[in-house]
Structure formats: structure tokens, C-alpha cells
């Protein structure tokens, strides 16, 4: 019915869906996963919801730093460090 389609209640499912997708993106769920769940392509998702991924730059940098961090500590063998705990390696 045209009157029902024009009512504010008809917008509620879309508003709830929009809120869910926005929340997922803001929470850091990867856009490809959100797009799949929402039934969008990634291109459409990012065009419509680009503002939801804004402001996540610091978290993205932290993740990159963590993923590319070089750990300079010596690797321990299964029996412990070379030479034992009281002896030099």
C-alpha cells in the first residue's frame, strides 16, 4: 500500500540496518566482511558508509606497527636459552 510505504515505519528496517552496518564498521570489522553481511559490494559499502571508517587512522597505524614490529629478543630453544639461566649464551 502506498500510504504504508510512505510512513516513517517503513524507514525503520532501513534505519536499523544502516545503524548495524555503521556500528560494525566503527567497531573495526573489516569492510569486506561487513559488505558480505550487508549484501553490498565493498565499493558500494565504502561509498555509502565512508564516514564510518573515518577516524580510525590511529588504530590502523597501531595495527600496522604491531604487525611489522621486529622482535630482537633471542629465540628460546625448547630446552630454554643456550647455556642455561646462570650461564652466558
75 within a domain of the structure (yes/no): no
25 within a domain of the structure (yes/no): yes
Give residue-wise pLDDT tens across range 34-71: 999 999 999 999 898 887 777 778 888 888 899 998 87
Give residue 56's Cα distance to chain centre.
Answer: 9
Please state the domain count of the chain.
Answer: 1
Give residue-wise pLDDT tens across range 23-32: 998 888 999 9
Rounded to whole angstroms, how far apart are CA atoms 31 and 41? 10
Instruction: Compute φ and ψ for 75, nearest 5 degrees.
Output: -80, 130
* pTM summary value: 0.55
> 27 is in which domain, residue-wise?
2-66
Rounded to whole angstroms, how far apart are CA atoms 33 and 25? 10
pLDDT at 10 over 80: no
84 within a domain of the structure (yes/no): no
- Cell reading at 53: 571508517
Instruction: Compute φ and ψ for 62, nearest 5 degrees.
Output: -60, -40
Amino acid at each position: 500500500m502506498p500510504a504504508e510505504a510512505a510512513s516513517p515505519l517503513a524507514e525503520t528496517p532501513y534505519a536499523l540496518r544502516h545503524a548495524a552496518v555503521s556500528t560494525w564498521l566503527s567497531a573495526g570489522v573489516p569492510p569486506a566482511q561487513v559488505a558480505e553481511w550487508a549484501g553490498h559490494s565493498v565499493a558500494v559499502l565504502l561509498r555509502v558508509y565512508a564516514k564510518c571508517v573515518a577516524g580510525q587512522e590511529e588504530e590502523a597505524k597501531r595495527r600496522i606497527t604491531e604487525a611489522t614490529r621486529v622482535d630482537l629478543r633471542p629465540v628460546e630453544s625448547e630446552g630454554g636459552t643456550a647455556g642455561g639461566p646462570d650461564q652466558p649464551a
